[in-house]
Amino acid sequence: MRACLRRVLPRDLARLGVLIVVGIVVGAGCATPGARTTPSASGKDSSQSSSLSPVTAPSDANTPSAAPFDELEAELAQKQTSVADPLEPVNRFMFGVNDFVFLWVLEPVAKGYAAVVPKPARMGIRNFFHNLTTPERLVNCLLQGKGSQAGTELRRFGINTTLGVLGLGDPARDRWGLRPAEEDLGQTLAVHGFGDGLYLVLPLMGPSTLRDSVGMIGDAFLDPVRYVEPEAVSIGISATSTVNSASFRLGEYESLKAATVDPYVAMREAYLQYRKKQIRDDALPDSGRDGLPPGVGPGAPN
């Protein structure tokens, strides 16, 4: 759905992009500062302090220690992200809208599509659209100074376009082990020091941040489908990509919701942690080649 909506962005979206860039520069300073150590207020020596300390009874060996609980609490704290969410009421409302659209519109269509179109054909369509977005990955590799990955993207495009029959196959990955570099402008901005800004839930497009939203606008201009004329054909192509991508994720979103007390928080944390790992170039499980983790976000696929 992201690809579909990116195509219908107004022509003067570049102006909006400039305004949001200004916002992200301001929002970059909103990152939560690291914890500062507080100097000890006590000026007494250790002998005096120990003399004033209360005498504690020796602990029973059978009494369970609190250390494991402290370690668990510290581990959970490390997993929590520090991206500001000042628009949480609005974001929760949009989350509800996206939830309704996904469960009652996109997923039923995707289920019917999956029932009619066999999986090998759907995989070929997915590969085709992924091959089309090579310019987005290539440019962002270059902007991040990743010459090796940029070369890999060029080789993948040449192999898959020829031997893979216009990208319907992925022999570059299956035969030569050339994995795509899933880079985008949001990651490029992060590499160059731009903070997340704040957390957003975009209408019909799912979780994002201010920085990633700016990146999405820039990446839209690198999407070849955007320049297909007439516009109705371009929108139809993007809608096909969205439904095809969603057909590989059936049931994942419901599983995520069922496993959490607060789906909004779970979705936010899953998205932010996934993006953090992408920026650090950590090894990630297969995201379905559409740049998003499995189960993240109604409307999120593609």
177 within domain boundaries: yes
109 within domain boundaries: yes
Into how many domains does the chain fold? Answer: 1
- Write the single-letter amino acid at 47: S
39 within domain boundaries: no
171 within domain boundaries: yes
Whether the predicted pLDDT of 141 surpasses 90: yes
119 within domain boundaries: yes
More confident of the two residues 211 and 26: 211
Whether the predicted pLDDT of 63 surpasses 50: no
The pLDDT score that the predictor gives to residue 281 is: 84
* φ, ψ for residue 175, nearest 5 deg: -105, -35
146 within domain boundaries: yes
**Cα dihedral 35, 208, 100, 259 sign:** negative
Comparing C-alpha atoms, which of 195, 189, 187 is closest to residue 33? 195
| Residues 195 and 28: beta-carbon distance below 8 Å | yes
* φ, ψ for residue 165, nearest 5 deg: 55, 75
0.85 exceeded by the pTM?
no
| Residues 240 and 106: beta-carbon distance below 8 Å | no
69 within domain boundaries: no
Q: Please give the torsion angle defined by the CA atoms of residues 159, 164, 167 and 172, in that order, rounded to the nearest 10 degrees.
A: -50
Size (the chain), residues: 302
pLDDT tens digits for 158-172? 999 999 999 999 999
126 within domain boundaries: yes
Domain that holds residue 169: 2-29+92-279
